[in-house]
Amino acid sequence: MKVLVIGGAGYIGGHVARLLSDRGYAVDVVDNLSTGSTRNLFPEYGFFRGDILDYPWLAGVVAKGSYGAIIHLAAAKAAGESMLVPEKYSTQNLCGTINILNAACEAGVERIVFSSSAAVYGEPRYLPIDESHPKEPENYYGFTKLEIERILAWYDRLKGIKFAALRYFNAAGYDPGLRVRGLEKKPANLIPVIMEVAVGIRKSLDVFGVDYPTPDGSGVRDYIHVSDLALGHLLALEYLEREKKSITVNLGSESGLSVLKILETARRVTHRPIPSVISPRRPGDPATLVASSALAKTVLGWEARHSSLETIIETTWAAYAAQESTPLA
Ligand code: WQD
């Protein structure tokens, strides 16, 4: 089957495209390279550089490809920014996805795997968070993801497009073989920020709050290795082919890790001091977020295999250390 990976030069998309190609799928990538990197692309992929907001162009690419499925990962994803510039998230995430769905309808593509997010849930009412947890996003980014899930359900009902919506928790780590290693530009997430401190791009890490009701006072999250996420996409594709019905699942490791624990592990693995400063809480941050991935296990047969803290930190450090020794021109 030939699959179109939209956002396939990005951090998660790059890992998804690599795994699909490894498993024998023909892969085409669409990416505008606004945040993605050509380092994540391989000669065996077809590559179309362009923007999903350019509908005539996108519809042309989708129509010509005879794709069995589309995997859509092209989105703006900074929750904080979405509260300041909602217009960007409306256009990129909502309009962009609607273009993809309409292009899929025109071309007769019947399956789509969509990158959703734990951000659809908002402040946790109970832990671990399962798929039936109330959906009350705390930021506009999470709202766009939830709206898209609803639009997908309507396109399923009205146009027969089957979808898998994958609600990622905190994506982290790099391909253990270090083939996909384009680093994110200006990251805001904890682990890449720690790595930027380790390599000297930043002076220190701000630890956003040590007064949370958690074992060590710092925020607890569910970090899921990007290779595990990639496998989730592959299994979701197989599910759509096999079952011919839509599905929405969490993808998380089901274990909570604190900011201080991650910092301590990063210092040990990197042998770098990684200075840190205790800072006030970041607005909108819940104390703890941990997934239940029981549904993905039962229905997709998915399991997190690379998501130990050690593997996440070691593979991320390998990517940053490689960049440190051979910087991009
Ligand atoms: C993790 C922990 C911070 C940076 C975000 C989005 C979410 C999803 C994943 C896409 C928290 C602490 C962080 C720093 C810190 N995105 N932290 N210093 O906020 O859990 O989730 O990315 O779907 O929608 O909101 O991830 O990596 O920013 O933070 O202390 O410089 O690290 O307070 O406890 P978050 P994160």
pLDDT digits (tens, 9 = 90+) for 266-310: 999 999 999 999 999 998 889 999 999 999 999 999 999 999 999
pTM (global) more than 0.95: yes
Does 306 contact ligand 1 (Cβ within 6 A)? Answer: no
Q: Which residues are catalytic?
A: 141
Supply the residue whose CA is at minimum distance from atom 36 of ligand 1: 189
Does residue 167 register a pLDDT over 60?
yes
Nearest to 174 by CA among 25, 4, 323: 323
Return the ∠ at Cα 8 (arms to 150 and 259), rounded to 5°.
75
Q: Where are the beta strands (DSSP E) in the chain?
A: 2-6, 26-31, 46-49, 69-72, 111-117, 162-168, 170-172, 205-208, 220-221, 223-225, 247-251, 257-258, 276-279
Per the model's pLDDT, the better-predicted residue between 328 and 160 turns out to be 160
Separate counts of helices (H) and strands (E) for the chain: 11, 13
Does residue 23 register a pLDDT over 90?
yes
Å from CA of 41 to ligand 1 middle? 27
Residue 328: predicted pLDDT: 57
Does 207 contact ligand 1 (Cβ within 6 A)? Answer: yes
pLDDT digits (tens, 9 = 90+) for 170-194: 999 999 999 998 898 889 999 999 9
pLDDT digits (tens, 9 = 90+) for 39-54: 999 999 999 999 999 9
For residue 175, is it left (φ>0), alpha (ψ between -120 and 50) or beta? Answer: beta
H or E element that contains 233: helix 226-243
pLDDT digits (tens, 9 = 90+) for 52-62: 999 999 999 99
Q: Cβ(1)–Cβ(69) under 8 Å?
A: yes
**Helices marked H in 11-139:** 11-22, 55-64, 79-84, 86-89, 96-107
Residue 327: predicted pLDDT: 62
Residue 206: predicted pLDDT: 98
